[in-house]
């Protein structure tokens, strides 16, 4: 009988045009891919880092030669504008590859530890980084290229094999990612791209022996996967949802703050985990801030970016449109006002377009302020001072990123440290995902662990400590068998020597310790 392969069909959310198909893999494919990856990783993991860098670096050639094609594919598959695709997906990917290629060797170097106590003066310890083996990566549709790309690069440079599953909604981008890494001559089976429905992917990865899981997606799925991972204690990094707050201080540059709020809140049609969702504006500048925000939001162009002349593209999924509409309806029913709204393209052939909407008279009883809306909606509240802004910003179960807008950078830094979020930007927002050197990850239910930067790179390896003894002629430690009263009183003396406030007791402790030092050098 002919083997009929299931296909995921992909459509342009803005036009409904069919873009292509992606074959669906099975759980058996996952098992095979992981087994193959495990065997090849044992060789890859032992390769010198510079050799791994040499093999991976040419991916940048693929990126530069195919940048326009990748931008177009991202735009058509996900709905975002090509400028969003270029600025927030392709450029960060190029910068990430350059950064990790440059620093992989430094990050993987042994780290020597300073001795902690005179008691162990004969010990010299260092931490070496050991790759995990096979890293499983599951990624979402909102940044379908940049998010998995840097994780793949870090994982491979750190000596791991990778099995990747990208979102079903953006398979055309996923298949391009696959091509990126096929462009370089990696050992067969070191990197495997699989297309699986989400609901079976997590179990398939975790039951078939991946050594660590990097998941980016919703809080609900993250919680499910963590529970599942606990069965074998598979380590996880979870990059989950955000409901980011932006605090606009009384001395903020209003032009900049309005521009930043709009870009970070509305680009990618607001479907950014680290995008602005809630804005708290000091009462002294509330009015001019809102006037400018209204003028600029109403001027936004929303449509399909065939000619690169729209600011906001299409929403990726109907499910997300439903969530956004639910949040707006809930807010209006509870007393919110639509303060400003843009128009959408009147071309009847374009779908999945939502107007950018600014809501006022909002409260923390409304879904739009409590939950992640993940759409082109900004809820704005007037606050009387910084303390109120901080209290409201932190009134959330999520804590991915946040921002403070002020001309006084010292003051802004103090406020930033009071926001409970994994990354806080001053006079900017969202862009730090593109800084390869800054760790990315959230507080609270926004996730666990970090990707990006040195901390993110460290997540791709596990620390192994090697403790060396520099007295090879020593026969034993002072406290080894056989035990005696003398050993006990010497160790008790040592406790005094190390911790007593009294000089006399410390000296006495030292003398008592000296009584068992010869044990080092005598046979038992
Ligand atoms: P989602 O959890 O539904 O899906 C994300 C990925 O997980 C997709 O590939 C999906 O197919 C897969 N998936 C779904 N169920 C699964 C399961 N049971 N086991 C394994 N994989 C499964 O999330 P979504 O709604 O598609 O994505 C949007 C969410 O992702 C938002 O909450 C957003 O904030 C979050 N996100 C977070 C970050 C971050 O860096 N913190 C980045 C991007 C998106």
**CA 166–ligand 1 middle distance (angstroms):** 10
Cα separation, 191 vs 134, whole angstroms: 9
**CA 240–ligand 1 middle distance (angstroms):** 7
User: Nearest-CA neighbor of 479 among 516, 515, 442, 514?
Assistant: 516
**CA 286–ligand 1 middle distance (angstroms):** 35
pLDDT of the residue at 259: 98
What is the largest distance, in Å, between two alpha-carbon atoms of the chain?
Answer: 92
Nearest C-alpha to atom 22 of ligand 1 is from which residue? Answer: 198
Strand ranges across the sheet with 357-360: 337-341, 357-360, 377-383, 276-282, 244-248, 401-405, 423-426
Active-site annotation holder among 151, 249, 273, 311:
273
Note whether 428 and 262 are within 8 A (CB).
no
Cα separation, 410 vs 415, whole angstroms: 9
Note whether 318 and 324 are within 8 A (CB).
no
Active-site annotation holder among 151, 169, 239, 311:
239
User: Nearest-CA neighbor of 265 among 372, 352, 339?
Assistant: 372
Note whether 399 and 442 are within 8 A (CB).
yes
Three-state DSSP at 473 gives coil
Output phi, psi for 307, to 5 deg.
-110, 20
pLDDT of the residue at 1: 47
How far the first Cα of the chain sits from its last, in Å, is 75
Residue numbers of the chain with a pLDDT score lower than 70? 1-4
Three-state DSSP at 293 gives helix
State how far the alpha carbon of 379 is from the alpha carbons of 194, 327, 385, 444, in Å.
Answer: 38, 11, 18, 22
Note whether 265 and 378 are within 8 A (CB).
yes
Instruction: Give residue-wise pLDDT tens across range 265-291.
Output: 999 999 999 999 999 999 999 999 999
pLDDT of the residue at 4: 63
Angle at which helices 146-157 and 49-56 pack, to 10 degrees?
150
- Please name the residues in contact with 50: beta carbons below 8 A apart, sequence gap of 6 or more: 105
239 is catalytic: yes
Q: Would the CB of 441 count as within 6 Å of ligand 1?
A: no
* pTM score, whole prediction: 0.97
pLDDT of the residue at 3: 57
Placement of tokens 């050799």 in the chain: 51
């Amino acid at each position: 009988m002919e083997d009929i392969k299931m296909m995921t069909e992909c459509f342009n959310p803005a036009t409904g045009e069919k873009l292509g198909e992606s074959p669906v893999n099975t759980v058996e494919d996952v098992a095979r891919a992981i087994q193959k990856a495990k065997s090849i990783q044992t060789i890859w993991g032992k390769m010198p880092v510079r050799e791994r860098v040499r093999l991976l670096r040419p991916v940048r050639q693929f990126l530069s030669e195919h940048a326009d094609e990748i931008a177009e594919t991202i735009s058509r598959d996900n709905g975002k504008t090509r400028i969003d695709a270029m600025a927030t997906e392709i450029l960060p990917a190029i910068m990430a590859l350059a950064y990790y290629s440059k620093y992989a060797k430094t990050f993987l170097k042994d780290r020597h530890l300073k001795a902690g106590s005179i008691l162990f003066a004969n010990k010299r310890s260092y931490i070496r980084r050991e790759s995990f083996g096979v890293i499983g990566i599951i990624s979402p549709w909102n940044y379908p290229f940049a998010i998995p790309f840097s994780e793949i690069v870090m994982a491979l440079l750190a000596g791991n094999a990778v099995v990747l599953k990208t979102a079903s909604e953006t398979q055309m981008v996923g298949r391009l990612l696959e091509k990126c890494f096929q462009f370089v001559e990696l050992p067969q089976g070191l990197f495997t791209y699989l297309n699986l429905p989400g609901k079976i992917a997590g179990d398939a990865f975790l039951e078939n022996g991946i050594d660590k899981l990097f998941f980016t997606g919703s809080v609900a799925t993250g919680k499910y996967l963590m529970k599942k991972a606990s069965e074998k204690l598979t380590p996880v990094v979870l990059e989950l949802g955000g409901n980011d707050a932006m605090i606009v201080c009384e001395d903020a540059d209003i032009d900049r703050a309005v521009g930043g709020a709009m870009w970070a809140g509305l680009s990618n049609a607001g479907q950014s985990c680290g995008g602005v969702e809630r804005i708290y504006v000091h009462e002294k500048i509330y009015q001019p801030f809102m006037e400018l925000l209204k003028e600029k939001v109403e001027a936004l162009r929303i449509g399909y970016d065939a000619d690169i002349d729209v600011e906001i593209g299409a929403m990726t999924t109907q499910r997300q449109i439903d969530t956004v509409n639910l949040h707006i309806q809930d807010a209006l029913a509870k007393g919110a006002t639509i303060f400003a709204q843009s128009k959408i393209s009147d071309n009847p052939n374009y779908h999945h377009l939502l107007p950018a909407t600014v809501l006022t008279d909002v409260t923390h009883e409304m879904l739009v302020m409590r939950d992640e809306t993940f759409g082109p909606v900004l809820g704005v509240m007037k606050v009387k001072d910084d303390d109120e802004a901080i209290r409201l910003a932190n009134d959330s179960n999520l804590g991915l990123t946040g921002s403070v807008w002020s001309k006084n950078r010292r003051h802004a830094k103090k406020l930033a440290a009071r926001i409970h979020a994994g990354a806080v930007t001053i006079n900017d927002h969202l862009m730090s995902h593109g800084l390869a050197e800054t760790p990315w990850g959230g507080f609270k239910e926004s996730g666990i662990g970090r990707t990006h930067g040195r901390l993110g790179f460290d997540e791709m390896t596990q620390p192994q400590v090697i403790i060396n003894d520099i007295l090879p002629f020593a026969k034993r430690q002072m406290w080894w068998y056989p035990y005696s009263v003398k050993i006990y009183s010497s160790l008790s003396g040592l406790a005094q020597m190390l911790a007593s406030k009294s000089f006399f007791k410390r000296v006495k402790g030292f003398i008592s310790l000296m009584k068992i030092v010869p044990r080092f050098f005598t046979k038992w």
